[in-house]
Structure 1
Amino acid sequence: MLRRTLIVAASALALTVAGLGQAAWAGATEQDAKTALAEFERTNAKIKPFVQAAHGYAIFPSVGKGAIGIGGAHGDGLVYEKGKLIGSTSISQITIGFQLGGQAYRELICFQTKDALDRFKGGNFEFDAQAGAVAVTAGVSVDAAYEHGVAIFTMAKGGLMYEASVGGQKFSFEPK
């Protein structure tokens, strides 16, 4: 009986993760990016001036994440410099630890300076997502600050995930 329950739970989880991640693997369009940025700004009024003051930003409209012990995440996004589209980007993450579930979220990375954006474009950009991101939720004040010229915001789209894990995010950049 326990074995059957575990098989059913694992199958349901696999289907959930597949559904959440499908949009993340489809590639981001400019309309997807505009919609995601508008959702960040609608959810918290402090985001818009933060983005406007930034030298550039990367927006990931949908990042799919799932795990059963070992986890992974992937999403595609677009990169803007001074409001102009300059290229595409992707995010990959692998985590190890006690974790179970699947979720989809948006991610916004603001670059305070040209140097910070250039580091990102150079492919030398990696960080621990759990340590540096500010979760954006409706009705909650966001007091974000730049750390090493970078500020990261995330917004849940759906799913449920429990995790006590270690891992980092790695980014790639492709010029337009």
Structure 2
Amino acid sequence: MKTSQSLKISIFTFILTLIISSTTYAQVGWNPELEKECTEAIAEMKKEAPKLKTYFAEAYGYAIFPKITKAGLGIGGAGGKGLVYRGNTATGESKLGQASIGLQAGGQQFSELIFFEDKAAYDRFTGGKFKFGAQASAVAITEGGAAVAPYQDGVAIFTHVKGGLMYEASVGGQKFTFEPH
């Protein structure tokens, strides 16, 4: 009888612990699949462009968007989500939206990595209303490429094409949101 009651209490405690744990993860926005995708994208980009290691060592923080999907035919758009880090600690999740107009046709997927040179650049991004205008330039990471970009307004941007084909001569911009963990 006591064993049956102890077993019920143990099962109840276990289930309660699972419920509390899953609720806690949902509240802080922990997304293990997104975290895995971010880690894999960073590893791939570092492999393709070893000089990125310097940016990781010296930057105040960074945002990584492991999979951005882009498509267009005259008018285009792109979107994706990623994680924002201060140092090596994830501080929140970010969503990227992009709109463009001009000569464009096709679709592609790519990763985007944004380094924040200092606290001011990081704070602007995590303020939730950060935008890149049409004049923002990114360095495309190619196998064996140099992958060196100067900071502009406190950020350095790198992209890495994952697949697809996109012909483009368009004007557009990117907008980001930020949700802290």
Alpha-carbon distance between aligned partners in 1 of 2:152 and 2:163, rounded to the nearest angstrom: 28
Q: What corresponds to 2:11 in structure 1? A: none
Q: What corresponds to 2:104 in structure 1? A: 99
Q: Report if aligned partners of 1:61, 1:107 keep a CA contact under 8 Å in 2.
A: yes
Deviation digits for residues 31-64 of structure 1 (CA, Å, limit 9, x no counterpart): 1111111111100110011112111000000000
| 1:33 matches 2:42 | no
What secondary structure does 2:97 align onto? strand
| 1:110 matches 2:132 | no
Q: What corresponds to 1:128 in structure 2? A: 133
Q: Report if aligned partners of 1:28, 1:76 keep a CA contact under 8 Å in 2.
A: no
Deviation digits for residues 47-94 of structure 1 (CA, Å, limit 9, x no counterpart): 011112111000000000000111000000000001101000010001
Matching of residues 79-98 of structure 1 within 5 Å: 79-98=84-103
Alpha-carbon distance between aligned partners in 2 of 1:142 and 1:78, rounded to the nearest angstrom: 21
| 1:151 matches 2:156 | yes
Q: Provide the TM-score with structure 2 as the length reference.
A: 0.80
Q: Report if aligned partners of 2:75, 2:100 keep a CA contact under 8 Å in 1.
A: yes
The percent identity for this pair of structures is 52
Runs of 4+ in structure 1 displaced over 6 angstroms? none
Q: Report if aligned partners of 1:60, 1:107 keep a CA contact under 8 Å in 2.
A: yes
What secondary structure does 1:132 align onto? coil
Q: What corresponds to 2:52 in structure 1? A: 47
| 1:162 matches 2:167 | yes
Q: What corresponds to 1:172 in structure 2? A: 177
Equivalenced residues, count: 151
Q: Provide the TM-score with structure 1 as the length reference.
A: 0.82
Matching of residues 51-70 of structure 1 within 5 Å: 51-70=56-75
Highest CA radius of gyration, 1 or 2? 2
Which one-letter code corresponds to 1:125 in the other structure? F
Alpha-carbon distance between aligned partners in 1 of 2:111 and 2:52, rounded to the nearest angstrom: 14
Displacement of 1:143 in angstroms is 2.1
Alpha-carbon distance between aligned partners in 2 of 1:68 and 1:95, rounded to the nearest angstrom: 10
> Which stretches in structure 2 are left out of the alignment for 5+ residues?
1-30
Deviation digits for residues 89-131 of structure 1 (CA, Å, limit 9, x no counterpart): 0100010111100000000000010110000011231113674
RMSD (Å) for aligned C-alpha atoms: 1.7
Displacement of 1:27 in angstroms is 9.7
Alpha-carbon distance between aligned partners in 2 of 1:140 and 1:76, rounded to the nearest angstrom: 25
Q: What corresponds to 2:27 in structure 1? A: none
Q: What corresponds to 1:22 in structure 2? A: none
| 1:74 matches 2:65 | no
Displacement of 1:28 in angstroms is 5.9
Q: Report if aligned partners of 1:57, 1:110 keep a CA contact under 8 Å in 2.
A: yes
What secondary structure does 2:157 align onto? strand
